[in-house]
Amino acid sequence: RQAKARMLQDGCSVVQGHFHSKTYLEYLANDYQLNFAMQLGALIDDDAYAFNYGKHYAKSHKNCGVVINGVPTIEYMEL
């Protein structure tokens, strides 16, 4: 599952990585809590032989997530 689906089902904030071509940060707020879903890329070399299976798909997102004092941030790798 993606991070958003897990957040909605489990009712808590979620950070999930290794979804090659999808990155997002979404919030869900109500009267009782503020949750977020952070979905991150894979930091792989799309041109490497080991990842040849994905050559017909979108390129991988190169990023990582950081949560400091409950505040999520997505940091992208400079290429």
CB 71 within 8 A of CB 21: no
The model's pLDDT over 8-54, given as tens digits with 9 standing for 90+, comes to: 999 999 999 988 899 999 999 999 999 999 999 988 889 999 988 88
| pLDDT at residue 70, as a whole number | 95
Taking the C-alpha atoms of residue 44 and residue 76, their distance in angstroms, rounded to an integer, is: 13
pTM for the whole structure? 0.88
pLDDT for 79 beyond 90? no
| pLDDT at residue 60, as a whole number | 92
| pLDDT at residue 54, as a whole number | 84
Interior angle at CA 41, CA 36 and CA 42, nearest 5: 135
